Structure 1
Amino acid sequence: MTDFTKTLQDTFGEKVVTLRGEIPEKYWNDWAGLPATEPLALARPSTTEEVSGLLAACHAAGVPVVPQGGLTGISGAAHPQADGIVLSLERFDAIEAIDTDAGTITAGAGVILETAQNAAADKGMMLGIDIGARGSCQLGGVLATNAGGNTVVRYGMARDHVLGLEVVLADGTVIDGMNTMLKNNAGLDLKQLFIGSEGLLGIITRCVLRLHPNPPAKATAFLGCADTASVIALLRAARGALGPMLSSFEVMWPSFFHFMSKGTGLGSPLDGEHGAYVILEATGFDAEATRGAMENLFEKAFEDGLVEDGVLANSVKEERALWAVRESPAEYETVLGPLVPFDVGIPIAKMDEAVTRIEAAVADAFPTARSLSYGHIGDSNLHVVVNVPEAGRAQPEKEIKKIVYGITRELGGTVSAEHGIGAIKRDYLGYSRTEAEIALMRTIKAALDPKGILNPAKSFDAGMAA
């Protein structure tokens, strides 16, 4: 393959193609924690034509291609193969247009999410996608994994924001679907094939996303509840009282909140301990009305016994303080150590059972284990991270996965709520999808990528891992 990669470099130039031995280590892995792997070559194209040419060459030679964005995924979808090339979209970093009349932003796949958010805000608009990795994740990766985040309860998953895509297929064919209209019902909605496909069907190069008027008013509450049943009743009450103003509803069970608030030194906004902790946020266009609606909800929830204690933020500084523990997972390595992370979806009615059973089963199997549970309960998303202290870097991953994914399957949940399947969940895809569904996915894959060069051995791809 040395001749092939050298030909790539000669064709596209050293600025675009870097050969093995010179590839920076940051491209050898993502956040999944798989063994670092240096690919044959790194391609960093800056134009759609270059992506098309690179893919056409790899298609002809049968060389695997792994697309990479901001490398913030935890499922291994961006993990390289030693016998393939990595294609990074980081140079597709231009925001091409913001149309405040149509409510759209047109941008390259390599634009950092926070950059897009700030650009929209400068125009008085808002991009409704928001995740913890906003400062480093890229739009292409957000769409390729159909990311969720903190505002799904109000604005939906990543796919709910997409109007148009430009995608390059495995053989180099460019699909120009840069639609800017909210209504376009001419034939199949092809963009949906690529959103959430983790780069197995085509590589997203550019996108058109919906924007919303930026609500200037915000009210943030931090509440302590007795148990999960009270949290679910509070969610129902919040939806009824706040309607479309409800923008975030996050829950932290004691396992997560007590451990991380102490471990990080951030402490708690509340006196005493509770059975569950909720961050509730409302946004609107009238500060008094937004604050009033939140206060009325808080008062009624307290009267009805749904809330034991709580505080409302009175400044941006206080808002950030209320979110601090929830946004502390970046401190896991320091506070918790090596871990096995989970991003599952559980029917809301079974959320309490899921948390109780998972934490108990892990403790039964590994008495010293620390299992932390939290998530975006308003959209059925549960995050669990597990650390077995004495195991060090050799965490008993298979045994823990068997427990968590087994309970998730029994409760009718999904093994992936917002981080995709990638390399580390492919053996568990059948826990959440039927054989017929997986077969159909593979049929589509074979039609669009007959040689199987795009992200092989990931997600629903039938290929064997390298």
Structure 2
Amino acid sequence: MSPSECLSALQAELGDAVVSLGAQIVGRRFADWSGLPAAAPLALVRPRDTAEVARALAVCRRFGQPVVTQGGLTGLAGGACTGANDVALSLERMNHIEAVDAVSATMTVQAGATLQAVQDAAAAAGFMFPLDLGARGSCTIGGNLATNAGGVRVIKYGMARDQVLGLQAVLADGSVLDGMHKMIKNNAGYDLRNLMIGSEGTLGVITRAVLKLRPQVADSATAWCGLGDYADVARLLGQAQRRLPTGVSAFEVMWPSFIGYMFDHVAGLRSPLDTRHDFYVLLESDGAGQAQHAQVFEAFLGEMIEEGVIENAALAQSQSDAAAFWRIRDSTADFPILMPDLIAFDVSFPIADIGRAAQQTDAALRTRWPDSTVLTYGHLGDGNLHLIVQVPGGGQATADAVEALVYGIVRQYRGSVSAEHGIGAKKRDVLGHTRSAAELAAMRAVKYALDPCGILNPGKVLPAD
């Protein structure tokens, strides 16, 4: 069947108010932040509810028409990029916060709601939604769940999948999985909720979710620490987790390469310390009572300095101080402007191996490309390492060589090629570095069972068989 027949059937089924063609979709962006190429799709479908998503997919399944689901287009792996033969399914209209249940501490939302909107609605109701990342104002809950997003609070609250109790999703044939439950305990058969989360739109389209809310944090204590070696960084993490009564809510580690580059290139950043160190840690702990929590946190920092774990530290005395500390870490948002040809990595290692793996990777890159810029930072508490590489004058062949080197080291340490941004199109050919042949075969079997015609996000996640 020709694509034109499918487009006609979509318009007949859903109408011009939902289905846009040709000149009607000119001027929109259809690529995410990965830098991978994308093209305007054959059609843009903007459903208003789950029923319209189901009707659209049923038509596309009948005609074998590929469909790419899109949220806020803030992904970094190319998972939402469309090709010229695709139909784009945007959930931008399905953006409502449907309900907040204060008794069960849950929020029911549509998948097109932005993360910021969910956080604000939770705060207005006296709760907190802990998932947080820099693209909060643009990224959507559906995209967060489809990629199993992480962010800066994973160490205490977990990944996106840990924030969900129930889920609604539409399968490739238009059937609806309606698992909008509010129970924490639900061992009734296979966990289809977690099968959908992290599947990047290849198994189904997430349309609604029941999110877990947490008690609002009364206060946070934040410190900027300078340390002498990675062993001390790991020791600080362990001691903070053991000795701080409310635990660690953020533990961001930055290597000197990252700090030096940011202070040199981003206006308005100020170093919290007047001393130089081999490692810098942004440590934060959520508390229940401001005065007592601040005292315990400050005493802990003093003990770590006395024990020689921390060389120097600055304690945030106000929310503006804490925001200034976080501004240094969040300055990564300027990377696309500062380094438009950067090669970015989002990988993970066992925490015990991160220091050694980072040092090995940095040395190997600088040896092979002496003029390269290599910046290292990460959420150490959850094993997530970010690496930014720029090779002056390097083209695609250089980028391929850099990726082969870095992912080779990831494989050596049995790490993961994707810590929190998914596989998409960008990493599908290195998925085998992280997953065994048996695991890949099981993934293909699941994909075929739920989407036998292969219409959902083709060419993403799974490598070519």
* TM-score under structure 2 length normalisation: 0.97
> 8 Å contact 2:348–2:417 — kept in the other structure?
yes
How far apart are residue 394 of structure 1 and its match?
A: 5.1
In structure 2, distance between residues paired with 1:21 and 1:360: 50
1:157 aligns with 159
Greater Cα shift, 186-195 or 115-124: 186-195
Letter in 2 for 1:423: A
> 8 Å contact 1:241–1:293 — kept in the other structure?
no
Among candidates 70, 73, 90, match of residue 72 of structure 2: 70
Whether 1:297 aligns to 2:312 is: no
Please list every run of 5 or more consecutive structure 1 residues that lacks an aligned counterpart in the other structure: none
Counterpart secondary structure, 1:163: strand
Among candidates 314, 324, 328, match of residue 327 of structure 2: 324
Whether 1:42 aligns to 2:26 is: no
> 8 Å contact 1:279–1:322 — kept in the other structure?
yes
Whether 1:270 aligns to 2:273 is: yes
Instruction: Give % identity.
Output: 48
For 1:415-430, what aligned pairs fall within 5 Å after superposition? 415-430=417-432
2:379 aligns with 376
How far apart are residue 153 of structure 1 and its match?
A: 0.4
1:15 aligns with 17
Greater Cα shift, 19-28 or 167-176: 19-28
1:147 aligns with 149
Greater Cα shift, 163-172 or 287-296: 287-296
1:195-232 residue CA offsets vs partner (Å, 9 max, x unmatched): 10111110000000100110111111111111211111
Counterpart secondary structure, 1:106: strand
In structure 1, distance between residues paired with 2:328 and 2:229: 19
1:93 aligns with 95
Change (3 A) 1:395 1:304: farther
Letter in 2 for 1:338: D
In structure 1, distance between residues paired with 2:403 and 2:463: 21
> 8 Å contact 2:6–2:59 — kept in the other structure?
no
The two structures, once aligned, show a CA RMSD in angstroms of 1.4
Counterpart secondary structure, 1:182: coil
1:308-332 residue CA offsets vs partner (Å, 9 max, x unmatched): 1111111111111011111011111
Aligned residues: 462
Whether 1:388 aligns to 2:391 is: yes
Greater Cα shift, 452-461 or 201-210: 452-461
In structure 1, distance between residues paired with 2:337 and 2:30: 23
For 1:57-136, what aligned pairs fall within 5 Å after superposition? 57-136=59-138
In structure 1, distance between residues paired with 2:71 and 2:416: 24
Whether 1:56 aligns to 2:58 is: yes
Please list every run of 5 or more consecutive structure 2 residues that lacks an aligned counterpart in the other structure: none
For 1:220-231, what aligned pairs fall within 5 Å after superposition? 220-231=222-233
How far apart are residue 395 of structure 1 and its match?
A: 7.5
> 8 Å contact 1:154–1:244 — kept in the other structure?
no
> 8 Å contact 1:121–1:214 — kept in the other structure?
yes
Among candidates 342, 353, 356, match of residue 353 of structure 1: 356
How far apart are residue 402 of structure 1 and its match?
A: 0.4
> 8 Å contact 1:442–1:462 — kept in the other structure?
no
In structure 2, distance between residues paired with 1:25 and 1:274: 48
Letter in 2 for 1:295: E
In structure 1, distance between residues paired with 2:382 and 2:447: 29
In structure 1, distance between residues paired with 2:175 and 2:90: 18
1:289-309 residue CA offsets vs partner (Å, 9 max, x unmatched): 221221121011101111111
> 8 Å contact 2:38–2:83 — kept in the other structure?
no
How far apart are residue 24 of structure 1 and its match?
A: 4.0
How far apart are residue 446 of structure 1 and its match?
A: 0.6
> 8 Å contact 1:339–1:395 — kept in the other structure?
no
1:375-399 residue CA offsets vs partner (Å, 9 max, x unmatched): 10000000001111223x7582211
1:287 aligns with 290
In structure 2, distance between residues paired with 1:257 and 1:249: 16
1:52-86 residue CA offsets vs partner (Å, 9 max, x unmatched): 00000000100101111111110111011221101
> 8 Å contact 1:164–1:207 — kept in the other structure?
yes
Counterpart secondary structure, 2:257: helix
1:18-56 residue CA offsets vs partner (Å, 9 max, x unmatched): 113432444321111011311111111111111000000
